Structure 1
């Protein structure tokens, strides 16, 4: 139960920080034309990193 509470808290804090950030800093920057990374791939990579961080917070909350 503590893991779930920590995970929910981490998600709420993450969302709060994200939505409180100025809009300008959140604009998706277009990758250079020579880059093969699409915006969708970049968003997915960022989401994966965020999920991993939240999972680590939840895992460490039991200690």
Structure 2
């Protein structure tokens, strides 16, 4: 028996560059196409969240986004 803590969604800001990473939990009966869709959807959700944050900051007059 083992327990793991795995980062499935991450966003890293380094040197004014933002990198998104996403993964999926692969098991014996995983469907590769479904896992790929899930991973892409995770990235899309993070990008949409950042877009909303940027729009809110710009609306408030804050142009220093990072």
Structure (1 or 2) with the greater strand fraction: 2
**Structure number with higher relative contact order (C-alpha < 8 Å, ≥ 6 residues apart):** 1
Structure (1 or 2) with the greater helix fraction: 1
